[in-house]
Amino acid sequence: MSTDTTIADARVSSMANAIRALSMDAVQAANSGHPGMPMGMAEVATVLWGEYLKFDPSAPDWMDRDRFVLSAGHGSMLVYSLLHLSGYANPTMDEISRFRQLGSPCAGHPENFLLPGIEATTGPLGQGLAMAVGMALAERHLNANFGDDLVDHRTWVIAGDGCLMEGVNHEAIGLAGHLGLGRMTVFWDDNDITIDGPVNLSSSEDILLRYQAAKWHTVRCDGHDADSIRAAIDAAMADPRPSLIACKTVIGKGAPNKQGTSAVHGAALGADEVAAARKELGWTAEPFTVPDEILSDWRKTGERGKTAHAEWNERLENAPNRGDWEQHMMPVGDLASAAVERFITDLAKEPKTVASRKASEMVLGPLTEKLPSLVGGSADLTGSNNTKTKFTDPLTAENYGGRYVYYGIREFGMSCAMNGMALHGGVVPYGGTFLIFSDYARNAIRLAALQQTRVVFVLTHDSIGLGEDGPTHQPIEHVMSLRLIPNLNVFRPADIIETAECWALALETSDTPSVLALTRQNLPQLRGKGDENWSRLTNRSARGGYRLKSAEAERKVILMASGSEVHLATEAAKMLEADGIGADVLSMPCLDLFEQQDAAYKEELLPEVNPSEILRVSIEAGVTQGWERYTMARGLNIGIDRFGASGRAEELFERFGFTPEAVTAKIKAALAGN
C-alpha cells in the first residue's frame, strides 16, 4: 500500500508536528495530561494513519475498517489529534482545547462511548493490546464466514512499556501467537522511560525475544524516520505471524530540555518548554490552530478510506452471501428470547434437577444453534464451566470459522479478548472460568461495563457449594463485589428455568455485560409444572426479583435469596408455615435489575412496614454486607463473612448454617427479638 500513498518526508514532519503542537498545547491548557507519548510517536502515527490505515472518517462504524487501538491510553491526545486532523466530525478543535475538562469528549483517557473512532476505552495498561487480540480474532472469524470481499481488515496497536510489562500482555500475545493472528501489528513505543525513571530501573527483559517465543514476528525501526517506519510496517504485513514493531523513539520529542526523560511522561511541559518546543519544531501557529496546508495534507489521509469504503459498499451490494451477512449482523436479543422460550416450554413438561452450570450448557444448545454470532470459550475449564456445545467447533488457526475458543489458562486475557470481540462487532462472546478467578479478570469485567459491551462472563463454582477445593477456590465476597460494579448485571439463577431466563436477559442487553454465577452442585427446578404462576411467556427474572411463593399463614417473614439458596429459602418457608408463621419467598436472581424497578413493584414485594411486623431475611452463601439494602437494620442477613473450608459441599453448607433447620431457628430467634 505504501508505494501509492507515500508522503514526502517534509510533509510527514509537518504533519507529525501538528500532533505534537496539539498535544502539548492541550495538555498545557488543561495543566494535566501526558504529552510524552504523542510527541514521541508522532511520526509513527502519521505514517500509519497517512499511508496504511484503512478508515473512513465519515463512517466510523464501517464494518471493514481497520481497527486502531491506543493501548497506551494515557497518550490520548495522540488519538484525539488523529481523529480531528484526519477529518472525523469529532473532536472539534474546541473540544480539543477543552481536553480533560468536564463535558469534553476528549477525556483524560480515550473512551469509546464518548467519541466515534475510539475503538476501545484504554488507560488500564495492557488491556488495549489484549482487546485488540479479540478484534483481530473477530476479523479472522468473520473473514472465514464471509470471505475477503466483505471482511479484510487489520488491527493496529500502539503500546508502551507499561502495556508490555503487565501480566495480561503475556496472556494476550500467547493467545495471538497461538492463533496466528497475522493481521495484528503492535507498535511498541520503545522510549526507555517509565514513570519512575529509565526502564532499566525495573526491567531487564529482551522483549523481542519474548515475543518471538510467543510466535510473533518482530522488527525494529527508528520511530522518527518515515522510511524506517514504512519498512517495518511492510515487513510486518508480509509476515504471516502477528508482528511487534519496536519503535525506538525519544519520549516528548520536540521539547528540547525535557525530551527523553520521565518528566515529559505525565505532566504539562510548562509555558517555557512549550515555547522552546515551538522554536525547536519551527511551529509558528497559534495554539489550537493548524496551518491550512498541513491540515489539507491530513484531510487527504481521510479521503483514501472513502474510496475503499465505497468499493466495499458495492461489493456488499452484489455479494451472493449478502443475506447471510445481514442476518448475522442482526440484533440477537429476539432470537435469544425465542430460543429460551421454547427451551422453557419443554421444561414445564419434564422438570430437571441439574446444576445451574449444566442448565447453562443445556440452554446454550439451542442458543448456539440459533445464534450464529455467539462465540464461546473457556479459560481451560471447558468441562467444568459447561461452555461448549455441539454447535460450536473449535476456533483455531486452521479453522477460524469455528466458534469455540480454547483460551488457555488466561482469565484476564480471555476477558479482554471478549471485550475486543464485542467492540469489533459481528460476534457475541461468552466465556467461562471459576467465579473465584473473576478476581484475575476483574478490571476487564469493569472495562466491559464501562465500555458498554455485551459480553457474557460464565462464572461457575459460585460458592462453598463447590466443596473440597477449599477456601482458595470458594467465592465469598465475589457475587456481591461484582454487583458493586456499575452497569454490570450479575445474575445468580436459582434453577434451570431462571438460568435460561438469565441467558435471555444477558443476550438481550446490548449495552451491558453480564455475569452468570452458576453452581457446581445440583439444584431442583423450582418453577414449571404445578406452579400456579407458571407462564412460559413471562421472563420472571427480568425484574431482578419476584415473589416465588406467597405466605400461607399470616405473613410474618419475607425470605429473599439468590441462586442455590432460593431452594433453601423455600424449605425454610415450609418449616415456618408448619409453625403458623407465614413466609413469602422472593427469588432475587439479579439485584442490579431489581434496583431498576419502580417503587410500586419494590413496595409490592417488600412492603414498608414496621420490621417488628414483618421480618426480612436475606439468604446467600456469601458476604451479608450489601443485603442490608433490602433487609433494613432489624432484618436478618444470613450469609458467610469468613473464608470457606475444604470439605464436601453438604458438610460445608451445614457447617456454615445453610440448612432449613438452622435458618428457621435463626428466624424464630429474630422474631422473638433475640
Residues with catalytic annotation?
411
Q: Which stretch binds a second copy (CB under 8 A): 47-55, 269-277, 287-295, 624-632?
A: 624-632
The interface mask with a second copy, positions 170-189, x = CB under 8 A, is xx--xx-xx-----------
The answer to whether residue 484 forms part of the interface with a second copy (CB under 8 A) is yes
Report how many residues bind a second copy under the rule CB under 8 A.
Answer: 108
Q: Which of 207, 494, 559, 568 binds a second copy (CB under 8 A)?
A: 207
Q: Which stretch binds a second copy (CB under 8 A): 183-191, 318-326, 461-469, 659-667?
A: 461-469
The answer to whether residue 11 forms part of the interface with a second copy (CB under 8 A) is no
SS (H, E, C) 515-583: EEEECCCEECCCCCCCCCCCCCCCCHHHHCCEEEECCCCCEEEEEEECCHHHHHHHHHHHHHHHCCCEE
The answer to whether residue 71 forms part of the interface with a second copy (CB under 8 A) is no
Of 203 and 533, which CB lies nearer to a second copy in the complex structure? Answer: 203
The answer to whether residue 558 forms part of the interface with a second copy (CB under 8 A) is no
Residue 394 is given by DSSP the state B
- Residue among 7, 12, 13 nearest 283 (CA): 13
SS (H, E, C) 143-182: HHHHCCCCCCCCEEEEECHHHHHCHHHHHHHHHHHHCCCC
The answer to whether residue 220 forms part of the interface with a second copy (CB under 8 A) is no
Of 401 and 408, which CB lies nearer to a second copy in the complex structure? Answer: 408
Q: Are 502 and 517 in contact (CB under 8 A)?
A: no
68, containing H or E segment: strand 67-70
| Residues annotated within a binding site for Mg(2+) | 161, 191, 193
Amino acid at 213: A
**Rounded-to-integer distance, Cα 32 and Cα 206, Å:** 33
Of 80 and 298, which CB lies nearer to a second copy in the complex structure? Answer: 80
The answer to whether residue 16 forms part of the interface with a second copy (CB under 8 A) is no
∠ CA 319-156-146, nearest 5°, is: 20
Q: Which of 261, 321, 337, 443 binds a second copy (CB under 8 A)?
A: 443
421, containing H or E segment: helix 411-424
| Residues annotated within a binding site for substrate | 34, 265, 357, 384, 461, 469, 473, 520
Of 357 and 410, which CB lies nearer to a second copy in the complex structure? Answer: 410
The answer to whether residue 381 forms part of the interface with a second copy (CB under 8 A) is yes
CB of 470 to a second copy, least distance (A): 4
Q: Which of 100, 141, 224, 230 binds a second copy (CB under 8 A)?
A: 100
CB of 342 to a second copy, least distance (A): 30
The interface mask with a second copy, positions 391-410, x = CB under 8 A, is ---x-----------xxxxx
CB of 262 to a second copy, least distance (A): 9
**Rounded-to-integer distance, Cα 164 and Cα 46, Å:** 23
Of 117 and 174, which CB lies nearer to a second copy in the complex structure? Answer: 174
Binding residues among 320-339 for a second copy as defined by CB under 8 A: none
Q: How far apart are the first and last CA of the chain?
A: 79
Binding residues among 112-151 for a second copy as defined by CB under 8 A: 121-125
C-alpha 31: how far from its chain's center? 31
Q: Which stretch binds a second copy (CB under 8 A): 10-18, 518-526, 560-568, 643-651?
A: 643-651
The answer to whether residue 35 forms part of the interface with a second copy (CB under 8 A) is no
The answer to whether residue 162 forms part of the interface with a second copy (CB under 8 A) is yes
19 to each of 7, 101, 535, how far by Cα in Å?
16, 20, 60
Distant-in-sequence, close-in-space partners of 289: CB < 8 Å, separation ≥ 6: 93
- Please, what's the b/e burial string for 324-363 (b: 16 or more CB within 10 A of its CB; e: otherwise)? ebeebeeebbebbbebbbebbeebbeebbebbbbbbbbbb
Beta strands in 435-545 (DSSP E): 456-460, 489-491, 514-518, 522-523
585, containing H or E segment: strand 582-587
Q: Which stretch binds a second copy (CB under 8 A): 86-94, 204-212, 247-255, 363-371?
A: 204-212
Q: What share of the chain is helix, strand, coil (3-state, %, to 5)?
A: 45, 15, 40
Q: Which stretch binds a second copy (CB under 8 A): 17-25, 208-216, 227-235, 563-571?
A: 208-216
The answer to whether residue 157 forms part of the interface with a second copy (CB under 8 A) is no
The answer to whether residue 210 forms part of the interface with a second copy (CB under 8 A) is yes
